[in-house]
Structure 1
Amino acid sequence: MINFLKSLYLTKRFFYSIAAITVLFLFSFWITAIYPIIWVILVILSIALIIDIIALYQSKGLNAQRILPEKFSNSDANSVKIQIKNDYSFKVFAEVIDELPIQFQKRDFLYTAEIKPAENFEFEYEVTPLERGEYIFGRLNIYAQSILKLAKIRKVFNAEQMVKVYPSFIQMKKLNFLAIDNRISQAGLKKIRRLGHTMEFEQIKEYVTGDDVRTINWKATAKHRSLMVNQFQDEKAQPVYSIIDTGRVMKMPFEGLSLLDYAINSSLAFSNIALRKKDKTGMISFSAKIDKILKDSSRMSQLQRIMESLYNISTDFKESDFGSLYAGINRFITHRSLLMLYTNFEHPSALERQLPYLKAINKRHVLVVIFFENTEITKLLHSTPENLSESAHQGIAEEFSQNKVKMAKELQRHGIQTVLTRPKDLSINTINKYLEIKARGLI
């Protein structure tokens, strides 16, 4: 009986009808002729309510399920599918209330539908997570009404479901498609003209029209008495590491995502491209000390290991120790490698403290320092000041913006490759830099 009462709800139509009948009873005090008619209406309403309730409880009613993907992609729209089967012999008016994970902070989810008898009804909605981790969906509540709409019953499905939110594999697949399809110029990516040759020798062959005359092997030419050229092939399986700073500087949020999440999404997309280019990829995360090291590998299964490693990375609000990073790189990375360092510097003094370590790392490896423009400051620079205070703020913002450019030039002056980028353009610019370095044969 308790379960019956908990699942039964009276609708607004019923209460409006009761309110109207109450008003009619009030008027019957002056117009006595309508008094018996009102009682008839009340009896009819009561009978209709009983019929409505019986109809709603006469069969299994509705069956529903929530279908979640195996994992969600961070910062991307992910689809959630709801399937409802109507086992009633009449059309049902359904209200769907899904209890979304607490991370979305959304408590007004409501979807309404008219479902025909014996129909399998299906709809989808999208959610966009902005944090990695476990997301728990609560109950799936379905409220069913008949055509009378005097009462409705609630049925609960999927008591609890959990889905993990991983770094943006949707972005990774998109960029992977563009690279494989040789359309790097699309979506902000650009083609890099190959300069010169790599140093991996393949064979000596006879010269044919179109061969680069700079590759002529004069000793072989003299021996065979015909022009012979050296043929080279791209060097492959070169070690490439994504190094992610997880210190407090990476907690800064832009457009809903922290700099750390932008770096993680970019690392996954970049690692996928590097693996497709037959390079070996690895990953390091650090703050006050080195937290995780994933040794480089050229196997495609490495991508899944990188994704699992990136899934649990979080900031610890400590000062990043580049000295510890330098010691760790010397210890664990023995071959000359391409190191893509994701970090951030807001003031030249911060860069000055770490510059000796960056220069030392760059002596043994090809180091690319990737840091971020402050897009909020950029917005302030493009706004029109309305008073003296706003003009002063704009002047300070200009200084901060110029400091970023100066820091990039300072790194380049010491021979360190640099990427200064807006957070949302991080993946594109990082891949561009990697392709440029490959084209120039720096690794």
Structure 2
Amino acid sequence: MKQFFKSLYFTKRFFIAIFLLAILFVVSYFFGNLFWVIKLLFFILILLVVADCLLLYLNKTGIQASRLLPEKLSNGDENPIEIKLVNRFQFTVALKIIDELPIQWQIRDFKIETVVKPSEEKKFTYTVRPTERGEYHFGNLNVFSSSILGLVSRRQQFSAEAMVPNYPSFLQLKKYDFIAFSNRLKFFGLKKIRRIGNTMEFEQIKEYVAGDDIRNINWKATAKKSELMVNQFQDEKSQPIYSVIDKGRVMKMPFNNLSLLDYAINATLVISNIALKKQDKAGMFTFSRKIEDRVVAQRRSSQMNLILESLYNVKTDFSESDFSRLYVDIKRHVKQRSLLLLYTNFETMDALHRQLPYFQAINKTHLLVVIFFENTELKEFTDRKASNTREIFEKTIAEKFRYEKKLIVNELHKYGIQTILTAPEALTVNTINKYLEIKARGLL
């Protein structure tokens, strides 16, 4: 009996009927002849409520429902969640579905309303967009059934509690795969150049021409042919590509509900996948006060899983990042010349100048690409028309900050350091295109 009362809910239609009867009873005080008619209507309402309860509760099964969740969620992407329903009543029912969503989304008005015919099976798909990595706990699935009378509804609660981890955006891997293997380089006005390399992987012996390295002269072949012959070697195809993520406080700034750190993590996952498919070695590490989450650049089948698991729990630590420690660690542990994609952020020239000596030192032995972010909210603010003196002043200050970002790019270029200044939402595609440009131009 307790279970019955816990699952029984009166609908809006029932309360409207009660409200109208209450008004009629008040009216009957002035018109006595109406009292018995209104009393009869009240008993009819009671009978209809009892009949409605019998319709909904005589069938013990009622509605069958289940929720299908993915094994893991993709951060910053639309993830589909599917709900499956089967009507076991012998009549058409109106349903209201309330799913208990994780607290991270703070959604308290989620519901799906539908009508299901007898023995009909229906599927509903809705999407969710997580913006914080970590564990997302789903609660129970609640289904409220109402018959054609619609005076009461029966709640059936299906135990569907589940925890789904939210990983960096793995859905972007397939989305951006095509860029690495399509002709995107034409947008840079570049063509693929086959470079003659200097590794020890022998390719062929050929006649010497001006410009060939004299250290590669093959003296035995020269003696046989009576002309200079040189060894030609294949270019090194497997090069280390490291994603270096600054997780200091500058990366906590949010755009479109995702922090700059999350954008950098999503881009790291995608560029690592593309680097591996382009036969390069992919690796990554994070830094702030010290170097953490290190994955050594390798080209193996398990590399993407290692990178994904390392990125899963990366969080900002709200401290000032130590670039001197970064330089020392790179010098100590990254022995082979590598492409270093450094995700960080600078707002002023002063902030850049404090770190510039370390960038120059790193760039001497590696190819450094400094990636930092354009403030899209400042752009929107400066694009608006100013209507008074205060807004003109604020717009001038905003334009100054935007201009300083361009000065930072020019300053880095002056010292031969590659840069990407990008809007957060365009980070992934701009990073991919810079990587493809570097590969095509043979800069690494």
**What's the TM-score once normalised by structure 1's chain length?**
0.91
Indicate the residue corresponding to 1:130 in structure 2: 131
Say if 1:300 and 1:105 are closer, same or farther in 2 by CA, change over 3 A. Answer: same
Structure 1 partner of 2:7: 7
* SS in structure 1 of the partner of residue 315 of structure 2: coil
Kindly state the Cα deviation for residue 214 of structure 1 after the two structures are TM-superposed. Answer: 9.1
1:330 aligns with 2:331: yes
1:159 is displaced (CA, Å) by 4.5
Kindly provide the CA deviation profile for residues 318-375 of structure 1, in whole angstroms up to 9, marking residues without a partner as x: 0000011111112221111111110111111111111111111111111111111111
Residue of structure 1 equivalent to 2:111? 110
- 1:78-108 deviation digits (Å, cap 9, x = unpaired): 1110011111111111100111111112111
**1:243: which partner in 2?**
244
Q: Does 1:436 align with 2:437?
A: yes
Superposed CA offset, 1:370-396 (max 9, x none): 111111222222221111122122222
Shift of 1:196: 5.4
Total equivalences in the alignment:
436
Percent identity reads 50
Q: 1:221 to 1:197 in 2, by over 3 A?
A: farther
Following TM superposition, by how much is the alpha carbon of 1:234 offset from its aligned partner in structure 2, in angstroms?
5.0
2:66 is matched with: 65
2:374 corresponds to 1:376: no
Q: CA RMSD in A?
A: 2.8
- Do structure 1's residue 88 and structure 2's residue 89 form an aligned pair? yes
Could you tell me whether the CA contact under 8 Å between 2:185 and 2:436 is conserved in 1?
Answer: no
After alignment, is 217-226 or 323-332 more displaced? 217-226
Give the AA of the match of 1:177.
F
Partner of 1:25: 25
Shift of 1:229: 10
The answer to whether structure 1 residue 41 and structure 2 residue 41 are counterparts is yes
Shift of 1:28: 3.4
Counterpart-to-counterpart distance in 2, 1:223 and 1:214: 22
Distance in 2, matches of 1:69 and 1:36, equals: 60
User: What is the match of residue 16 of structure 1?
Assistant: 16
Q: Distance in 2 between matches of 1:239 and 1:409?
A: 27
In the aligned structure 1, how far is the partner of 2:241 from the partner of 2:431?
13
Inter-CA distance 185–81: structure 2 relative to 1 (3 Å threshold): farther
Equivalent runs, 1:44-55 vs 2, <5 Å? 44-55=44-55
In 2, are the aligned partners of 1:372 and 1:423 still within 8 Å (CA)?
yes
Alignment of 1:27-426 (within 5 A): 27-59=27-59, 60-180=61-181, 182-184=182-184, 192-195=190-193, 197-199=195-197, 203-204=203-204, 233-426=234-427
Task: Report the alpha carbon displacement of residue 24 of structure 1 after superposing the two structures with TM.
Answer: 2.9
Structure 1 CA distance for aligned equivalents of residues 435 and 2 of structure 2: 65
**Distance in 2 separating the partners of 1:194 and 1:185:** 8
Structure 2: 5+ residue stretches without partners: none
Determine the C-alpha separation between the residues in 1 that align with 2:37 and 2:272. 79
Contact 1:380 1:397 in 2 (8 A): yes
The residue identity in structure 2 corresponding to 1:158 is S
Deviations 1:307-326 (A, max 9, x none): 11111100000000001111
- Name the CA distance, whole Å, in 2 between partners of 1:360 and 1:81: 52
Question: What is the CA–CA distance in structure 2 between the aligned matches of 1:116 and 1:229, rounded to whole Å?
Answer: 82
1:250 and 1:292 mapped to 2: Cα distance? Answer: 17
- Preserved CA contact (<8 Å) 2:185 2:433: no
Q: Given residue 19 of structure 1, which amino acid in structure 2 is its aligned partner?
A: F
- TM-superposed CA distance for 1:39, in Å, is 3.1
5+ long unaligned stretches in structure 1:
none
Give the letter for the 2:381 counterpart.
L
Measured against aligned partners, the alpha-carbon deviations of 1:2-60 in whole angstroms (never above 9, x if no partner) come to 22111101112122222222333333344444433333322222222111101211121
Aligned 8 A contact 2:67 2:160 in 1: no
Matches of 2:329 and 2:113, distance apart in 1: 57
Distance in 2 (alpha carbons) for counterparts of 1:362 and 1:214 = 27
